[in-house]
């Protein structure tokens, strides 16, 4: 059986199946299903008994997961001490 493909450049592609969404997001369909049940994944539409993902929601979710590299915030973040709390001194021999 051929794997489903997603042509994201096609403006006619408005919604995709969970399998196509998983391919687009480069994750397994099981992970996407797990995220959906936990409320962590992209927004989806339930059309009858079928789950469909609007392409705009997938793109919006990916955008919301984007983070800036740490070196942009290096000046703003205070360094934590290597050894939090007081260190016990060894008794002198």
* Overall pTM surpassing 0.85 (yes/no): no
For residue 1, the model assigns a pLDDT of 59
Does 93 reside within a domain?
no
Which one has a higher pLDDT value, 76 or 13?
13
Does 87 reside within a domain?
no
Does 60 reside within a domain?
yes
15/44 Cα distance (integer angstroms): 9
Strands (E) in the chain, as ranges, are 15-16, 45-47, 50-54
| Cross-strand pairs, 32 | none
**In which residue are the tokens 């360094």 written?**
79
Does 3 reside within a domain?
no
Residue 33's domain spans which residues? 15-66
49/46 Cα distance (integer angstroms): 7
* Number of structural domains found in the chain: 1
pLDDT tens digits for 44-68? 999 999 999 999 999 999 999 988 7
Does 84 reside within a domain?
no
pLDDT tens digits for 4-46? 666 666 667 789 999 999 999 999 999 999 999 999 999 999 9
């Amino acid at each position: 059986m051929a794997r489903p493909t997603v042509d994201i450049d096609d403006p006619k592609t408005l919604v995709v199946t969970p399998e196509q969404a998983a391919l687009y997001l480069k994750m397994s369909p099981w992970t996407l299903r797990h995220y959906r049940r936990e409320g962590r994944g992209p927004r989806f539409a339930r059309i009858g008994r079928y789950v469909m993902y609007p392409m705009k929601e997938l793109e919006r979710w990916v955008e919301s997961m984007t983070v800036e590299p740490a070196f942009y915030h290096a000046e703003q973040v205070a360094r934590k001490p290597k050894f939090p709390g007081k260190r016990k001194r060894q008794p002198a021999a």
